Structure 1
Amino acid sequence: MKEWLIKLISSHLTTVVLLPCFLLAGVIFYDISVSLKKMSDATQVEANALLVHKVLNLVHETQKERGS
């Protein structure tokens, strides 16, 4: 029984060792892709916030010129 178990494990040892490594690599690449998407969205939000600030300043200056 013990020898049979050792033969079974040794014949599949490469698979047993490499399968978790490949699964971990898949999880890491998935997390990286999600993080890159979030970073892209954050960059777009920052650009929009700067644009809103500039438009607000322009509206404020225009209202000051009109005397409002």
Structure 2
Amino acid sequence: MAEAALFFVVLLVGVGGTLLLYLLIEGETAESETIDRDDAEAHARRRAAERYGGGGQDDSEYE
């Protein structure tokens, strides 16, 4: 009897933990913004320039 109870406790924790993780990830990504490729590349270049400096490159050819 104790083995069956332990089995169900482990089963509930495993399934419950997995479900909780799924719901947390789903909530995190539910309202993500979708942008086109050109805007994504320009955003990535701006963030890289802010983080690492301009690098001496002229980004005007990309925009």
TM-score computed with the length of structure 1 as normaliser = 0.46
Larger Rg computed on CA atoms: 1
TM-score computed with the length of structure 2 as normaliser = 0.49
Q: Could you say which structure has the higher helix fraction?
A: 1
